[in-house]
Amino acid sequence: MVRTVTSFGRSGTFDWLYQRVTAVILLAYVLFIVGFIFFTKDFGYQAWSELFAQRWMRVFSLVALLSTIIHAWIGLWSVVTDYITNRMMGGKATVLRLFVEVVLAAVAVLYTVWGIEILWGV
Amino acid sequence: MLKVSIYRYNPEADKAPYMQDYELDTKGKDLMVLDVLELLKAEDPTLSFRRSCREGVCGSDGMNISGRNGLACTTPLSEAAPKGKLVLRPLPGLPVIRDLVVDMEQFYEQYKKIEPYLQNDTPAPAIERLQSPEDREKLDGLYECILCACCSTACPSFWWNPDKFIGPAGLLQAYRFLADSRDLATDERLSNLDDPFSVFRCHGIQNCVNVCPKGLNPTRAIGHIRNMLLTRAV
């Protein structure tokens, strides 16, 4: 058993499941958006702003945004813990890994707050 | 003439590893790679490698043969050097002790973690713990592993985290005991694997399946473990 505190759910099974679930949500969102763009008659600012004026679309977009954040965290955490390891780099890997994780977390919070502002601001 | 290029490294004498070229007259025979090594060692006794049974049972002579992990004793030249050039390197990712001999400690540490023995606290019956033929069949494709380390050392996840990721060989054995109807420690075993590294560093690229000299499928076993963990958790 390897103990971790910076992985998303601290359990491999949890992280694995969340990465799959968020991937399905993102796929649904991408298909919806692409479908909307291609199948809307007179697609333009009017149709776009009418779509995003509806609460369900804002919630759907927020869910997709949170899914992106979770999906990215789980994926990038794996990359960071694969390539920035104490085994290869010694003690400085801890500092570097923590730094990268804090930057990623800050970006995640920034995008979430910013995204809510945009979705409910228009 | 067969051209052979072999990874040489003697930490006591060499500053860095280097490739040494040899030539060998195979007299047109389709020798096994291990035969080539034995013939070369007769000429150059400093050449070091592990070997024992010479028939693919002991798992001692796992090495990287022309870019692909395999057992020297069961890999013929027609497969490893179709163009007359053979390249031999130690198993990738493990520390080299000398030439083709690697330090397997990390590999065995991971094997040890999965507690590779039957756990059953109930009183032992007079003769033996019986299994139905169906339950016994579940162990096929699992128990045959010879721990040669070809799979784990072909796995990038094991290269990056050999101290945290169990690796395909260890996980195949983990499932061998999870699938055993006589073993009663299933829940404890699963709890010990439920972290982001032990099992879940497997991203299913199947290098392990590709190289296994016994034709086993660790990726499938890892999938079964994941399903057991999921079933328990959701």
Q: How far apart are the CA of B159 and the nearest CA of chain A, in angstroms?
A: 9
Q: All domains of chain B, ordered by start, with CATH?
A: 2-102 (3.10.20.30), 105-233 (1.10.1060.10)
Q: How many domains does chain A have?
A: 1
A to B CB pairs, distance under 8 Å: 62
Nearest CA in chain A to B160: A82
In a domain, A81, yes or no: yes
Q: Would residue A6 count as lying in a domain?
A: no
pLDDT for residue A66 is more than 80 = yes
Does some domain include residue A113? yes
Kindly report, residue by residue over B99-126, the tens digit of the pLDDT: 999 999 999 999 999 999 999 999 999 9
Q: Residue with structure tokens 């010990």?
A: B192
* Chain A environment of B164 (Cβ under 8 Å): 2
CATH number at residue A28: 1.20.1300.10
- In chain B, the percentage of residues whose pLDDT exceeds 70 is 100
Chain B residue numbers with beta carbons less than 8 Å from the beta carbon of A19 are: none
> Model ipTM?
0.88
Task: Give me the helices (H) in A2-91, please.
Answer: 12-39, 45-53, 55-83, 86-89
Q: Which of A3, A12, A87 sits opposite B200 (nearest CB)?
A: A12
Asked whether residue A4 is domain-assigned, the answer is no
When CB atoms are compared, the residue of A15, A17, A85 closest to B196 is A15
**Which run of H or E residues covers position B170?**
helix B167-178
pLDDT at position A122 is: 75
Partner-chain contact A2 B197, CB within 8 Å: yes
- A38 in a structural domain: yes
Is the CB of B188 inside 8 Å of chain A's CB atoms? no
User: Is residue A92 a part of any domain in this protein?
Assistant: yes
> Do the Cβ atoms of B212 and B163 come closer than 8 Å?
no
- By residue range, what is the domain housing residue A49? 12-121
Q: Which residues in chain A have Cβ-Cβ distances shorter than 8 Å to B233?
A: 11, 13-14, 17
pLDDT band at residue A9 under the 50/70/90 scheme: confident
Please say whether the beta carbons of B59 and B49 come within 8 A.
no
Specify the pLDDT at position B179: 97
The rounded distance, in Å, linking the Cα atoms of B212 and B104 is 17
